Amino acid sequence: MPRGKLETMQDCEDFIHGCLFMGTGGGGGVEWGMGMFKAALEEGLSLEWVDVDDIPDDVWTVTPYGMGSIAPMSPETQAEIERLGLVEKYGDRAMEQAVRELEAYLGKPIGCLVPAELGAGNTPAPLVTGARLGVPVVDGDYAGRAIPDEMQGTPYLYGKNSWPFASVDKWGNVAIVKYTVNPHMLERIGKMLAVAAYGTTMIAATPLPAPEMKDILVRGTLTKCLRIGRAIREAREAGRDPVDAALEVTGGWRLFEGVVTAKEWEDRDGYMFGTTHIRGTGAYEGQTLDIWFKNENHVSWLNGEPWVCSPDLITLVYKDSGVGITNTDLKAGDEVVVVGMKGLEGFRTEFGLNEAAGPRYFGFDIDYVPIEELVG
């Protein structure tokens, strides 16, 4: 029996808004996610997920996800694509093909899909892919948020190899990477394949037997995203604060409120890097908040002093609607609320902070302080 199911477009919208809230500025765009869901419902597919304990232990599992920069495409890149005569072959079905390619390479049937992260595109995509392939998708993921690198996922944290992996882009290019010398090189090779594809590629990776997957899964996160999205919508419809409603579900904190004054960014090495600058309003008048992102938000400074950092979550939402915002869409003039949530305990260890998800991993000489100590 499915543990969760999206039966209407309203269900799909609620789910995506929950994923946005947990996506910390990345994880793919709403347009991509909703487009996939709409097509799937029109095809009569069943969009559902199952409890991880319902997956038999003799099943092999893989994780499909999109890899690449979330930066908008430049006119120069579009001109280059046209010059090369590239035409979409797979489009939104490239992920499905990536799973098939990895299954063929492994010579083993894939009986379960595991989302890599939470985001408006990168969580709907595995659900649609699983529905098309007739393969169950578990209620959970490997990050509890959206992440830019392999190193912020639980497979890296617990020493699981994510190779071999298959890469398929929308143009029809297919690559099988048999082995990488370490996870850092897996991330680099995958991102270079995305750069070669002019933005993104679809990956099927982390082939694990079900018992190993169960040991490292962040459980219940798809159900949680649907609850968050519904809470936001229902609060808005009832005239209540949608941000407060979402925070009741997540146990998070309202960190800041203000207007975006600028967003500096660059598209580099398969990532969107940048810093968002926010001027405080209301109770935060006279204060500033700056947030550095690598696709997702990771390091913040309150009034010039280091503040909330990864592995804890920093998400920007529209003040009036409570709906999350990707760093792709964020722009100067947006009135936002900044919310924070606790990250996974495993990444708060010395290894997790320094080698995977803390501010020093991202190149900042900042001592991590748990969010609950900063705002509790």
pTM for the structure as a whole: 0.96
C-alpha dihedral (168, 203, 35, 124), degrees to nearest 10: 160
- Predicted pLDDT at 224: 98
What's the confidence (pLDDT) of residue 292? 98
**Domain 4-219 belongs to what topology?**
CV3147-like fold (3.40.1610)
Dist CA 109 CA 171 (whole Å):
26
Report the pLDDT value the prediction gives residue 91, as an integer from 0 to 100: 85
Beta-ladder partners of 291: 276, 300
Angstrom distance (rounded) from CA 157 to CA 172: 32
Handedness of CA 328, 282, 368, 301 (dihedral sign): positive
Phi, then psi, of 277 in degrees rounded to 5: -115, 130
Helix (H), strand (E) at residue 116: none
pLDDT along the chain (376 residues), means of 10: 88 98 96 96 97 98 93 91 95 94 98 98 97 98 97 98 97 98 96 95 98 98 98 98 98 98 95 98 98 98 98 98 97 98 98 98 98 94
Looking at residue 144, the DSSP 8-state letter turns out to be: S
Q: Report the alpha-carbon distance of residue 111 to residue 93 in Å, rounded.
A: 19
Check the CA dihedral 200-202-205-211 and report its sign: positive
Which tokens hold the place of 55? 């997956």
- Residue 164 DSSP class: S
Cβ(146)–Cβ(25) below 8 Å: yes
3-state secondary structure of 313: strand
Q: Is the dihedral of CA 161, 97, 267, 370 positive or negative?
A: negative
Residue 162 three-state SS: coil
Fold match flag (4-219 vs 242-375): no
The listed CATH number (3.40.50.300, 1.10.3720.10, 3.30.1540.10, 2.40.390.10) that belongs to domain 242-375: 2.40.390.10
Strands 110-113, 60-68: parallel, antiparallel or unpaired by DSSP? parallel
One-character DSSP codes across 11-72: HHHHHHHHHHHHSTT-S--HHHHHHHHHHHHHTT--EEEB-GGGS-TT-EEEEEEEEE--SP
What DSSP character marks residue 74? P
Closest CA relative to residue 1, chosen from 42, 38, 51: 51
The domain segmentation of the chain, as residue ranges, is 4-219, 242-375
Tell me how far apart the alpha carbons of residues 312 and 147 are, in angstroms, rounded to a whole number.
Answer: 12
Decide: 22 and 118 in contact? Cβ < 8 Å: yes
- Indicate the residue type of 354: N
Alpha-helical runs (H) found in 120-271: 124-133, 154-157, 183-196, 210-216, 221-237, 242-250
Residue 3: what pLDDT? 84
The tokens describing 332, both together, are 């100067």
